[in-house]
Amino acid sequence: MVKGLNNAGFSSLDYRAEDTTVPKETPVELPKAGEATLFDEEPEPTEEEETIDTTQVTFRAVNPSPEPLEVVGTGDVPLPTETKVVADILEHAQKEADDMNEQMENRDEEMIPHELAPAVKTGVIQSRFIKSASEVQLPMFYVKDDTNQVDNGLWPKEDMQFEGQHLLKTFQLSKQPADINFAAAETNMYKVDIDEQTDEHKPTLVKVKGATYKYILENIRQAKNVEDMRNRCAQHVAGVMGNMIPLTDRDIQGYVARIFEGFTEADLDDFMQHLGDYTAVIKKRILALEDEHKEKEFERMLEADEIYLKPAYPIPRSITLSKPLDDIPKMLRSKEEAVNGFEREVINDVANLDNVEWWTRNVERRGFCINGFINHYPDFIIKTTKGKVVLLETKGDHLEAGKKIRLGNLWANKAGNDYRYCLVYSDRQVDGAYTKSEFLEMIRNW
């Protein structure tokens, strides 16, 4: 700023003089006696002002007993202005809603900015399969919702697409067993939190460093007695455990306090030294109790028709691809997402069956989801020449998949005769699942 002023011709000798002039006060003149003020009475009108000639005003007598107005039907009578405005607003809103619904139904599942389109790899449904694919509307679970819905005559009440969190409304941690056998733990302390990118509860461990570790230990050691130490430990476990919606810190503290009921001072001291690892054990147990409750509650609600299936998921016309695949027969799209290993082996054999019309890769977290007590994305969607739609999940023999098997079979039983669900192992025999050879034999008849 100084350099700019110097360039403009100012120097360090220039200054701004203070204005010491004192403004003069103007005295307020009061009205003299007899002079008009703001609130004086209005003066009498002069002869020059216009006056009303009352001789020119006539009056008409009013009928003291008028005839009652006749009320007629409103079918052909124009609405009052206010009512017509409201009707126009509602009509316009309905048209906007209809247009939006039409756009959502006709849009591609993954919208790509025009500028990026040339660089994005996409797979588009082949023209010979467009009609067949458009006939598929995969059923999803919905839950009846009678809360906070007002029937305004414009938009009808609609049930909500089911989410697993609905099942935890009736979960009470205070009534769950608190018997946990702690294994030997390492001395590292960890903060455990839910990985929000996963559908199933999966603890992730993040190391808690220096100052936090020291504060927790000092705070617990300041306890007055064993009971106070238990309460402080419970509070810190809830804090280290992280977000466990819908459970509150109070819920967790109460549960942990029950775990500590039989702990001695020596037990609590050992707990302090391995707080992170013990917390991970407790959290894993709580999540297991939640999952067990969710599955039982889901089956109960399904049996009571509080949860039901309805067609909801259309096959998207195009998808973006990270690794395109184009060398397996009967692909629904010009390119599909790449598959490897056992997945490729199974789908290649399926594609070479005479009764298979087309197949498509169902991309994890972007494709169709069986939205039950877990969110399950089967590997493939297959359609046969008889019109059967098969959801296929492949698994290595070393992997456990009990929840997926149970949910997939529940979905298929409720979806109807046109739908099948199959979880396929290579050779492993599991109730509710198939070996590869069993599956290939079955699908030939579908």
Q: Do residues 294 and 316 both lie within one domain? A: no
Quote the pTM value.
Answer: 0.66
* Domain annotation covers residue 340: yes
Q: Which of 381, 321, 316, 334 is nearest to 104 (CA)?
A: 316
Of 247, 278, 303, which residue constitutes the final position of a domain?
303
Of 239, 255, 61, give the one whose Cα is nearest residue 171: 255
Domain presence at residue 68: no
User: Is residue 190 one of the residues assigned to a domain?
Assistant: yes
Q: Kindly state the DSSP code that residue 445 receives in the 8-state scheme.
A: T
212 and 281 both lie in a single domain: yes
Looking at 260, 278, 303, the residue that finishes a domain is: 303
How many domains would you assign to the chain? 2
Is residue 329 in some structural domain?
yes
Co-location of 285 and 324 in the same domain: no
Asked if residue 197 is part of any domain, the answer here is yes
pLDDT at residue 230 in the model: 79
Is residue 261 domain-resident?
yes
Per-residue pLDDT of the chain (446 residues; tens, 9 = 90+): 555 655 656 555 555 555 555 556 555 565 555 555 554 555 555 555 555 555 555 555 555 555 554 544 445 555 556 666 777 787 777 777 666 655 544 444 445 555 555 566 888 999 999 999 999 999 999 988 765 555 555 545 677 899 988 899 999 999 999 888 775 444 333 444 444 344 444 444 444 555 555 666 666 666 667 777 778 778 878 888 888 888 998 999 899 988 888 788 788 777 777 777 888 888 999 999 999 999 999 999 999 999 999 999 999 998 888 888 888 999 999 999 999 899 999 999 999 999 999 999 998 888 999 999 999 999 999 999 999 999 999 999 999 999 999 999 999 999 999 999 999 999 999 999 999 999 999 999 99
> 257 with 326, same domain?
no
Domain boundary among 261, 280, 303: 303
Q: Which residues of 382-391 are buried (b: 16+ CB within 10 A; e: fewer)?
A: bbbeeebbbb
Q: Are residues 276 and 370 in the same domain?
A: no
Question: Residue 61: what pLDDT?
Answer: 52
Q: What is the CATH number of the domain that holds 364?
A: 3.40.1350
Q: Looking at the structure, do residues 298 and 315 belong to the same domain, yes or no?
A: no
Residue 29 in any domain: the answer is: no
Task: Please report whether residue 406 resides in a domain.
Answer: yes
* Same domain as 376, residue 312: yes
**296 and 332 both lie in a single domain:** no
Considering the domain architecture, whether residues 281 and 331 belong to the same structural domain is answered as: no
* CA–CA distance, 120 with 321 (Å, rounded to integer): 8
Same domain, 417 and 312: yes
Whether residue 313 is found in the same domain as residue 418: yes
Query: Residue 248 belongs to what domain range?
Result: 184-303
